[in-house]
Chain A
Amino acid sequence: MSTDPTDPSAPRVGVDEWVASHEQRRAYRAGVAGMVERRLERVPSPAFYLAFGIAAAVVPALTSNGYVIDVGLNTLLYMLLALGLNITVGYAGLLDLGYVAFYGFAAYGYAMLASPKFGLHWDTLAVIPLAVLATVILGFLVALPSRRLVGDYLAIVTLFFGELFATVYQNGEHMSFFGHFGAHDVTGGPNGIPNIDQFNVFGARIGALNYTAYYYVALIFFMVLLFAMYLVDRSRTGRAWKSLREDPLAAELMGMPVNRLKLIAFASGAGIAGLAGTIFAAANTAVFASEFDFTSGLLIIVYAMLILGGAGSLGGVILGALVVNVSLEVLRTPGHATWIFYVLIAATLVAKLRPWHALAIVLAGTAAFGFIVHAIVSSAWPRGVHGQAPVGGILGSGLSHWVILPSSPMTIGNVAFIFLVLAVLALTLLKGWWQKLAMIPTLYLAAFVWENRLAVEPSITRLILVGVILIVLMNARPQGLLGTSRVEIV
């Protein structure tokens, strides 16, 4: 190929300008989609935040359904948690696995100062700042010995702190000081602290179980903190946190007070978690230590939100919390979950399986395979098809002629689950037509496991499904939906 030497835009030997002009060479989608994409890029991000705030503010006006408000309040609390974690993990890159302890610490703090437990009923305007301040100080104290640790070492130390918190509060009903000063009931032990006061400011109080009021309290706090974080993001400290995350040594070489920056990040993240904790305690009127330990899954859910949305991105905090919490709620009902399960599988196949005739063969093959297996089993082992489909309706009645439903599916379901995992692993090893052929029994096995084992236990299944969605999404977009950089574990 020859280039015209007189053309100034032609590549020349020794001139590497193309790197610099990469923005101009960026390919946009054609047509209307491309136009929308370019328009959206020019909208400043606070406009999106404001739009979210307005949309969230009108939700309670549109529905009187208490369940929707309850889920909304939960989502807002998750957003606050993710916003705080975004400072520690997203900006400063400190992998804090004890984060939920700060949430629990402040929730207990509110409960102790505003409940019949110690006969204290302080004004909310005093309790919230006090609880948040105490949480910030606790954050400092935890960060102080761990500030020289990075990556997985910090993760282990903070995880230990989180478990320590849960264990102490779980067993805090006979507290003494090294065997002296008697045994005091400080945390209520496994019974927690019940009958917590509602928010009350100068005698005016929120009515009991008025979730709408707490929804607005959480929304106002979240919006204020969101805009504050937007300013921090663009401040000297925000940039210093991000450079610390990218290259701690280079940051130190620029003269940044690395240790102080880490302490501030850790403590301010803890403070936001503390604020969320006080709202949680008042809205739920009771706190239990088991809600804040590792097995509650809270830590994993907040991390999932942050990573899914994109660590270090404020929009990602909103989007991540919405997607994860709404999916978890929708998946709570087996009927919804079943539809989502089949639609997700079908959509993935339609999107990824090429050429078209392979897609048709796999879908038709799976359907035919199911009917044949069903026919054989129903004549050879009638009890194998006498079970109940977990969902009714068209989907349920259609499935009961296709999937084998044994009357006692427990053991066979468990065994099939293990085989399903093995079959999926085997699929990744196969190539070409063998892979497509192997898909047919694997898909049928997936449906069998779903109907007999997963759909009947929605509380576990929804976590598995969200996990699968996360894995798929992280493979497609490692930096998260709106993120620019990944959370590095090492």
Chain B
Amino acid sequence: MSLLELQAVDTYYGPIHILQGLTLTIEPGELVCLLGGNASGKSTTLKTVLGIVSPRNGTVTFDGEDVTRRPTSYRIRKGLAIVPENRRLFAPMTVLENLQMGAYLHGGGSQEDFDRVYELFPLLHERRSQLAGTLSGGEQQMVAMGRALMSKPKLLLMDEPSMGLAPILVERSFEIIQQVHESGVAMLVVEQNANVSLSIADRGYVLSTGRLVLEGRADDLRENEDLRKAYLGR
């Protein structure tokens, strides 16, 4: 049984048809990347998965249950979490408070949750009483990931994790993604940076103007001529 399944999803923003018959699955423990250029519908896909926007046609199934008409908070309680684009930390709150907010639906987080996150990111324990807005970009990325992991997600969504980071931090960021993945969390990584994301992913999907144009194993996609021309630039 798939962990997440989008079945022929059509999503609209008012009269504008964004996602056109999108079908996508993620198996438990898998790392899947979703590639595509600007305005290809990547972020809308995430919003549809989370329930920020609801599709006009099609179904969203998560962990064996049809959640198409369920609100965001229900889906998050059921095991979804997101590291949003640009991280969106609560800047004037401390690192600890940011982590607590990640476990809002679980009463602010148990000691185990904190231990698990601190083990993954020892730096966050060190900086727990520091205001999140005063951290550097790479450190903020860790807080954002830690915050998302506080709710013990089965599937972690990542929206453009490489955005606004120095090249060396992008690499470090993807190492962390791999590390989190190895701890057993399934992940859907949305990226423009096809090269790095395909190197760590199991499978990949490629979107273009709201439609799926390619899908397959990450290794196969890396060899695909069209994709190389369009995104890898060689």
Q: How far is the CA of A91 from the CA of B151 in the complex (A)?
A: 24
Q: How far is the CA of A166 from the CA of B84 in the complex (A)?
A: 44
B151 neighbours in A (Cβ, 8 Å): 254-255
**Would you call A254 and B147 a contact (CB within 8 A)?**
yes
12 A/B residue pairs, CB under 8 Å, sorted by A: A22-B130, A236-B104, A242-B92, A246-B92, A253-B72, A253-B76, A253-B88, A254-B104, A254-B105, A255-B72, A255-B76, A255-B105
Would you call the interface of chain A mostly helix, strand, loop, or mixed? loop
**Would you call B135 and A250 a contact (CB within 8 A)?**
no
Q: How far is the CA of A256 from the CA of B107 in the complex (A)?
A: 11
A253 neighbours in B (Cβ, 8 Å): 50, 52, 72, 76, 82, 84, 88
**Would you call A485 and B92 a contact (CB within 8 A)?**
yes
B101 neighbours in A (Cβ, 8 Å): 239-240, 243, 251, 254, 256
With both beta carbons as reference points, the residue of chain B lying nearest to A250 in the complex is identified as B88
Partner of A257, one of B73, B93, B130: B73
**Would you call A247 and B90 a contact (CB within 8 A)?**
yes
**Would you call A20 and B104 a contact (CB within 8 A)?**
no
Whether a CB of chain B sits under 8 angstroms from the CB of A252 is yes
Q: How far is the CA of A19 from the CA of B137 in the complex (A)?
A: 11
Spell out B's residues near A (CB within 8 Å): 50, 52, 72-73, 75-77, 82, 84, 88-93, 97, 100-102, 104-105, 107-108, 126-127, 130, 134-136, 139, 147, 151, 168
A482 to chain B, nearest CB (A): 14
A257 neighbours in B (Cβ, 8 Å): 73
**Would you call B102 and A254 a contact (CB within 8 A)?**
yes
Q: How far is the CA of A240 from the CA of B50 in the complex (A)?
A: 19
Whether a CB of chain B sits under 8 angstroms from the CB of A300 is no
Chain A interfacial residues counted at CB < 8 A: 24
A251 neighbours in B (Cβ, 8 Å): 101
Q: How far is the CA of A20 from the CA of B128 in the complex (A)?
A: 11
Partner of A20, one of B82, B90, B100, B135: B135
With both beta carbons as reference points, the residue of chain A lying nearest to B77 in the complex is identified as A255
Q: Which 10 A/B pairs are nearest by Cβ-Cβ distance?
A: A255-B76, A250-B88, A255-B73, A255-B105, A243-B90, A246-B90, A19-B136, A236-B108, A243-B101, A254-B104
A240 neighbours in B (Cβ, 8 Å): 101, 104
Partner of B93, one of A19, A23, A243: A243
With both beta carbons as reference points, the residue of chain A lying nearest to B135 in the complex is identified as A19
Q: Which of A440-490 contact B (CB under 8 A)?
A: 484-485
User: Given A16-B136, A19-B136, are A252 and B72 also a contact pair (CB < 8 Å)?
Assistant: yes
Q: Which of A1-41 contact B (CB under 8 A)?
A: 14, 16, 19-20, 22-23
A483 to chain B, nearest CB (A): 10
B231 to chain A, nearest CB (A): 27
A19, A236, A255 — most chain B CB neighbours (10 Å): A255
B22 to chain A, nearest CB (A): 21
**Would you call B84 and A249 a contact (CB within 8 A)?**
yes
B90, B91, B105, B127 — most chain A CB neighbours (10 Å): B90
**Would you call B100 and A236 a contact (CB within 8 A)?**
yes
Q: How far is the CA of A253 from the CA of B130 in the complex (A)?
A: 23
